[in-house]
Structure 1
């Protein structure tokens, strides 16, 4: 059914307004992702320093093997979002957490959730988080969130050795060719390779330390935990904004295509109305030409 000119104009104005909103959100997503990406690169460089510290400690001490408790309490920290317009970002991660939980043989792990919408996605998978934290509102808030999570991990260990706690980080990271993938990373207990001594040191200056070995190891472990949580949070924010950016680009393209169709219809209707008006003028003019003219003066009757 053909639409009127007024209806098409209103439709075109609405689509133009929607396109402006989508373009603004796309721009904001691109702008917001940049600080989180810089934070992720910065913490990665810091984390490499911590890993070198582990290697130096293991070389100096000859390597260690931390005892692992088979009945250690398990905690999964899930990094999601409480904002929309990012597709199935939370749902795909919640499915992975469900699969990871089902694969656990040492009891049911506890859940710590970041993001209100992530909590809803976990609830849909019959998973109930013990607590839900707010995601960082800016890159400066990542340190605040990481510190809060580290404090909760310390509280979970009841002040004892962290070898009695199992912690897994679940987040979405960047993949190849601009893709994203939900992953799980074991944080505690520590990977055995971190404390294995190497036979050779890659520098002439051999590592050494003066502080107590227990205090140094404890400091390295906590720095490792903080850096890992910080990076997971930053990576989650980067991928969230990247996913929103991709969806906004698709939406903008769809709106542009729809605007093109409506603009074509609008031009067609306008041309049809102009043609009809011209035909009315021409038909009226032709009718006036064929109408016999009346004489100006009547002949006098004889």
Structure 2
């Protein structure tokens, strides 16, 4: 009986230690969600300003100049795809959902799309589905690490276009976006080409003040710089939304784990108290039986 009680005490202690780890992870996930959501909101203002600048350049140059300033289609250029996932687990179906969503689209994209995975888990998931990525990037562990990732992705996309014999003129992003109730939803965004519809959306933006801006220097170099900034901002926002979704999924998973551990601790504590009571009853019975035996011997 004493061995069973000691074993039950060790189980309770282990469950308590595990619950402390789970609650620490819950707190970290909740804090991370906040920082990535704030970064995404702040970046929205910057993205709007970049679009205003693009609209000014397009008005000065005339329709169709965004496509002229971007990569030139070659007919043999591959389609570029960037899929955002996670490096760590404990996120439920976070990686499975975005990978399945991307794979369904990849099957209709033609031969040999160039795929980059952000995160080890989604990298492996895409490879298992028959679409091995050309490269993998580590998932940023803070807001300050998101910007360098965006720069590396753009450099790799440009370099891959050179290796393929022509610039990548079509680029798609696949990532999870936060949804109500701590859920997530896989979405896609096409960054390239900068087609007529995209240009119309940019041109529809009106300058917020009566003082209209002027482009200093040559307009075409400014347009090219703004296009690159637009691509960078879009990558940053996609990564920030993906990270917010990842941490929301981890928070939900840790909340479920915390409830399960509470149930387990309640069960273990109940069993421990029953064993302890049985042990005490046995000890009392032994004492009573010994006392009675001594009384019989004296008689």
Q: Answer yes or no: same fold by TM over 0.5.
A: yes
Q: Which residues of 2 match residues 1-302 of structure 1 at below 5 A?
A: 4-61=4-61, 63-64=63-64, 66=67, 69=73, 71=75, 72-104=77-109, 106-158=110-162, 165-196=169-200, 197-198=203-204, 203-288=209-294, 293=299
How many residues align structurally?
288
| CA distance in 2: counterparts of 1:199 and 1:113, whole angstroms | 33
CA distance in 2 between counterparts of 1:184 and 1:31 reads: 26
Is the Cα–Cα contact under 8 Å of residues 55 and 194 in structure 1 kept in the other structure? no
Q: 1:32 to 1:177 in 2, by over 3 A?
A: closer
Are the equivalent residues in 1 in contact too, given 2:87–2:120 (CA < 8 A)? Answer: yes
Give, in whole Å, the separation in 1 of the partners of 2:84 and 2:153: 11
Residue-by-residue CA offset, 1:33-58 (whole Å, 9 max, x unaligned): 33333322222221111122223334
Q: Matches of 1:13 and 1:49 in 2, distance apart?
A: 55
Unaligned runs of 5+ in 2: none
CA apart distance, 1:73:
2.4
Name the larger-Rg structure.
1
Q: How far apart are the structure 2 equivalents of 1:219 and 1:92? A: 35
SS in structure 2 at match of 1:259: helix
More helix by share: 2
Q: Mind listing any 5+ residue stretches in structure 1 that lack a counterpart? A: 294-302
Distance 1:164 1:109, change over 3 A: closer
Whether the 8 Å CA contact 1:101–1:108 is kept in 2: the answer is: no
Secondary structure at the counterpart of residue 4 of structure 1: helix
Aligned mates of 2:206, 2:41 — CA distance in 1: 29
SS at match of 1:35: helix
Point out the more displaced range, 163-172 or 6-15: 163-172
Maintained 8 Å contact 2:178/2:245: yes
> SS in structure 1 opposite 2:187?
strand
Give the TM-score of the pair, scaled to structure 1: 0.84
CA distance in 2, matches of 1:273, 1:96: 58
**Shift in Å at residue 60 of structure 1?**
4.5
TM-score, normalised to structure 2's length? 0.85
C-alpha spacing 1:164/1:139, structure 2 compared with 1 (3 Å): closer
Q: Give, in whole Å, the separation in 2 of the partners of 1:146 and 1:125.
A: 26
| 1:76 CA drift (Å) | 0.1
In structure 2, what is the Cα distance between the partners aligned to 1:85 and 1:25?
10
Q: What is the Cα-based RMSD across aligned positions, in Å?
A: 2.7
Which whole-Å CA distance do the structure 2 matches of 1:169 and 1:156 have between them? 16
Alpha carbons of 1:26 and 1:251: their partners in 2 closer, same or farther (altered >3 Å)?
A: same
